[in-house]
Structures are given as C-alpha cells and as structure tokens.
Amino acid sequence: MNPPLQIAAFHSWPSDMDAIFWIHEEGLDDNCLEAYRKALQESTSVPLNIFVATGGEKMKSWDHLPSLLQSFSQHRLSRHSVVLTTGGGAMSDAVGFAASIWKRGMRVAHVPTTALAMVDAAWGGKTAFNYDGKKNQLGTFHAPLFVHIDACWLNTLPERHRRSGLAEVAKHAMLDPILGWNHLKDWPDWSPTDQDVLRTWTDRMKDSAEAKRRIVEEDPFETGRRATLNLGHTIGHAVEAHFSATDAPWLHGEAVALGLRFAIFMASESSSDDFQPLKDWLQRQVPLPSVVWPSANELWPIMTHDKKNSLGEVREVHWKGWGDVVWPQILEKDAFKATWPAFLRSEMESPHL
C-alpha cells in the first residue's frame, strides 16, 4: 500500500484548528482506515473525533440534516474545527452543506472513496441536499481546504461503480487540452494488489481532478466556463431520470457515458478527426446496462426540466473536439428528435460494440 495520507507533507492544517471531526463511511477497506487514522493522529496534536456513517443518497435527504448537526453539537465543534469526510459524493455533498451552515461556516476537507467523487463530486465546493423529491435542490458553495486522492479506497468499491466514475475522467480529458487522448490511452486494468497500478490510478485520477480544479478556479460560482463541466449531462441526467423509476436504474456515470457518446457522434458529423479510439475507450471502460435505450420522445420532456435551461430553451455543451467546446448550445426539439434516432442506429451498427 502507498504511504497512506502523509497529510503533514501534502496538506497544512490551519494554525487555529481546535479539532478534527473525521466522518467516514462504513464498509471501507480496514487497512486504509487504520493507516489513515495513524497518519491523522501523527499530523496534529488536536483531538481526533471519529464518526462512522452510512453513506449513499439517503445522507442528502432533508430529514437527515438534523442528525449531522446534532453530531457537530455533541462533539462541540466550532468554526475553528475541521470536518474531514471519507466517502462518496453523497457524503461530501451532505457533510459539506452541514459544515457550511454550522456556526456560519466550518471548514471541511475530503478524502473521496469512489472514482466519481475523486474526479468530480468532491471538487468545486458545491454542496447539496435533496428536497421535495427533487435532487440537489438546496445547497451552498463551500470550498474544501483540500481533496486528497488515494486509489487504495477503490478496493472495496464494486466494479460497476468504479467503472462508472471513469465517465467523468473521459469528460475531463475531452474538455482539457492538457489532458486529451494521452490521458486515457494505455489506462491500466484495475488490480488492487499491484502497487504500480494503484500508483498509476492515483496519479491519473489526480490529473483528471486537476483539470476540473482549473476550470472551477476560473469560474467558482458557475457564471461562465464552469458550465462546460456539464458536457454529456443534458442527455445523461435525462437518461438517469428515465431509468430511476425502473427495476434497473442506471448509475450516474453510466448515463453520462451515454451522453458523451452522443456528443462524440455529433462532433463526428462535422469533424474530420478520428474519435473512434475515444468511443472504444468509453465502451470498454464504462459498459452500459443491456437494456433498450430510451427514445427521443421519452427523453425530451425530461430534458426540458434540466437546471441548465434558460427562457424555456434546452441548453447543452456542444463538443467539437479535444478541448474545443461551445456553451451554451441551444438544442431544438425537432433537431434532437432527428439526431437521436440516427445516433441510436449508429450505435447498433457499430462493429466495435
């Protein structure tokens, strides 16, 4: 296993910190937990309070917020305390929100344990709670002190979830000219006992997250360029919502992967560049459930409620090639109902499936 956290070397605790409240999900790798516990204790002399929670989307229900605030109260956390989360994106969303309103703002840091959280959810300072049956209706901007990535946490993550998170890795490579195809090619197969593989995954996840950090730093409150991080998400959110009410819901990354494949199809229609290696990578790394994909008539009504829309117009991020995007691109109903079936036909006819 890699040196666990080395928190003193990579991250500096605030000089006025009076306590660390470490909240981590249950069921994580025992070796990772023990190594991080020792590293945290050695990194500072302030009290280390440990709280074990059940992760997942239920953490973001409004009814769950009082229990988080009660745990802060019981441990007498102040504005000088630091909450450290170790879990998936739902945990960083929920705990980040609770920390942002505790004492008018308590500091937070994240050690994400899922591929999706490592490269996306834990970054950017967005917090969220679900409300009135709708996802992410409440939230704040509350930037973390740091986000620490270590692939060792992926050891206990189901393969489907690990692969799902790679959709966001592909998205960042598509958006960032520094990353591009070089970031994706020769991606090593997962092997939890191979230290070289763990180090490579850790480094590549860090590089992917850094691409998001650069965009967020330029536009922290999503008034411009940060909106391009929604590449693949107009379709993705609609697909995710479509299957959410079925017996076989799709994971977020799977739905985004389909949205990215649609973006690649649209770019291929107007570009002479060869995007087949990228399409093959997505198909191989993020395999999609074997079900009938929704039609344009099923997706469009959902897409009209996307939070990125404005003045009744469906807006999407249009990808033209590596590091070349247009935002906002207005998506017309008739145009979508013509291109989506063409995309589905191309996927069915693809010899690479």
Question: Which active-site residues does the annotation give?
Answer: 104, 126, 168, 212, 222, 226, 230, 233, 237, 252
What does the alpha-carbon distance between residue 266 and residue 100 come to, in Å, rounded to a whole number? 40
Start-end of H helices in the chain: 7-10, 30-43, 65-74, 89-101, 115-116, 159-175, 180-184, 195-218, 233-244, 252-270, 276-285, 296-303, 333-349
Q: Which two tokens stand for residue 51?
A: 């709280």
CA 143 to chain centre: 15
Q: Is 24 helix (H, G, I), strand (E, B) or coil?
A: strand
Residues present in the chain in total? 353
Q: What's the one-letter identity of residue 161?
A: H
Rounded CA separation 123/114 (Å) = 13
